[in-house]
Structure 1
């Protein structure tokens, strides 16, 4: 009998464990425990650590349903992507979700949605969320952004520069990215370019194309229209468009792909048709997805500062949800950078011409 009781004491029923249980074990008030578990800076770091360790040891699980009833909050954040079903690449989607989850306080959960679904009248109630993040690719999102803004919910718009000054907005310098990618290839001696574009309705594609065109114009390079192809940001379109370029009989020395997914498809097309990369054709991608360094050859690409804008956006959203709407509005554009790997041949070195 004594052994049985001892076992019960060592493994208490998790459902019976409360904040007051932890408070008694830590010899602090239940208010201090509540603050510590929510990461409050009002509690000393050493005390927070002690309370967290006790909570883990006894298997404490916070009751978010009860917590939401008391605070009138859902602890749910809605992330809305442009064209989730057809326009947003799976790799970009995964990258954003993983980074958002790593930054958010553990008490919050994410709900992933498409802007198009919300605007088509599907049952997505804004009352389900404490805050909204819009990963915007297109001006077609503006109606949804205006709708959410009018609800008064904490809102941040990421990825695209929006044409208004009353919403927190963190975006990427896509035009600069397209330009620095092209200028890097030009410095390595490339003068005959192909371009595989992203979705025409996406602002990122428009800006990256503008950067490409700006670079070739400044260097007085003519790009044949037959070497500019319209993709959709997905690997298959990169493969199909590259096959069209190769079948034209007018082979470029370097192809700029407006994201890494299309670059993967394009490189595979070359390999399937007997071309070597980068000896025969060089490639530059965009986004610096996690897999790009592991391709053969590793892909030279433009690193999109996704982690930076996600970090800024999530931090701002949490601030608004916890402390209320700030009087100032933040709007920032973060510059990308070229990540040099092995997929671009240096045409200036004659010993590589063989």
Structure 2
């Protein structure tokens, strides 16, 4: 027979209301009564469901997450971490995949009576999202946002440091003719990675061999590298703003009979799944998806409980992962 909250109340000799308050950690319950309820639950083997706890709190037990694409292994890893951490807390995760550059949709799914909070992952224009979520009075946080001073709790990666460490790695290998293929200027992450790259070169008295404007895709890296090869003018090394761009550079070199890293050292950014699976394995700057997802859940749950201050930005450092696509400059070995 299934044990219910009424059985716990009868066993403990207390009211159903008191038992419900204990289950939901209400501070108004006296310690002695709390112990009686917990003991009764233990003896009966009663485990309240997440749904029951949510209903008792007047909540849905659902967290919404909106993002622009699912075709990105880094985003996949962040979403998985968020889902795992929320499940530990008895929440379900609902996804909304937005298309286009506009922000602030979610009207069909993320209404105030359908979710307890919303996570906005890598929005292009978060102002629209923030306005709507504020109007609906839905607690929310931003991950990988583009505004440097957001009005909501947010988690960002130190992209400046990532670009800086990538350039320092190439400089340390003896390279002096170093190019950068940047991501779209609309992304703050692209701008910060480029700034970090330029800062590292400037500290050594170096100027970039070239700074190219790219897109976060393989075709972009391929096109730019192909143009360098056709002009018979190739840098010694290149830092690409993301792994897809870097893999396009590697592919163009292979098709032209050039070898990476012998003829060109290449560094990417993100540590996508393909970065370690293709040959040569890609040296890259890893974004810690687990830390981003975990901290995001922590901030959102605090916001739901009314314990989170606004204007809080948590910055997480990336990590340089050295693999096979970078090597010492040939000029230093000769």
User: Shorter chain as normaliser: what TM range?
Assistant: 0.7 to 0.9
The equivalent residue for 1:188 is 173
The equivalent residue for 1:302 is 285
8 Å contact from structure 1 (residues 68, 74) kept in 2: yes
The equivalent residue for 1:258 is 241
1:314 paired to 2:297:
yes
Cα deviation 1:224-244 (Å, max 9, x = unaligned): 44xx33332123333333323
Q: How many residues end up aligned between the 2 structures?
A: 319
1:123 paired to 2:105:
no
2:224 alignment partner, one of 207, 221, 241? 241
The equivalent residue for 1:339 is 321
User: How far apart are the structure 2 equivalents of 1:37 and 1:232?
Assistant: 51
The equivalent residue for 2:64 is 78
Q: CA deviation at 1:18?
A: 5.0
Cα deviation 1:280-333 (Å, max 9, x = unaligned): 111111112344333322221112233223211211212332x33445753222
Q: CA deviation at 1:89?
A: 5.1
Q: CA deviation at 1:39?
A: 10
SS at match of 1:191: coil
Inter-CA distance 207–229: structure 2 relative to 1 (3 Å threshold): same
The equivalent residue for 2:119 is 133
Cα deviation 1:143-169 (Å, max 9, x = unaligned): 322332343322212223644464212
8 Å contact from structure 2 (residues 286, 318) kept in 1: yes
Q: CA deviation at 1:33?
A: 9.7
SS at match of 1:190: coil
2:79 alignment partner, one of 72, 78, 97? 97
8 Å contact from structure 2 (residues 50, 90) kept in 1: no
1:172 paired to 2:154:
no
User: How far apart are the structure 2 equivalents of 1:36 and 1:291?
Assistant: 49
Q: CA deviation at 1:343?
A: 1.5
8 Å contact from structure 1 (residues 133, 156) kept in 2: yes
8 Å contact from structure 1 (residues 161, 333) kept in 2: no
Inter-CA distance 256–163: structure 2 relative to 1 (3 Å threshold): closer
User: How far apart are the structure 1 equivalents of 2:254 and 2:7?
Assistant: 61
User: How far apart are the structure 1 equivalents of 2:63 and 2:174?
Assistant: 48
User: How far apart are the structure 2 equivalents of 1:141 and 1:193?
Assistant: 34
Cα deviation 1:16-43 (Å, max 9, x = unaligned): x45459969x999999998999899x99
The equivalent residue for 1:293 is 276
User: How far apart are the structure 2 equivalents of 1:181 and 1:63?
Assistant: 45
1:218 alignment partner, one of 186, 203, 212? 203
Q: CA deviation at 1:173?
A: 1.2
User: How far apart are the structure 2 equivalents of 1:136 and 1:180?
Assistant: 23
Shifted more, 230-239 versus 95-104: the winner is 230-239
TM-score by length of 1: 0.74
| Runs of 5+ consecutive residues of structure 1 not aligned to the other structure | 1-11
Inter-CA distance 89–286: structure 2 relative to 1 (3 Å threshold): farther
1:272 alignment partner, one of 239, 243, 255? 255
Q: CA deviation at 1:188?
A: 0.8
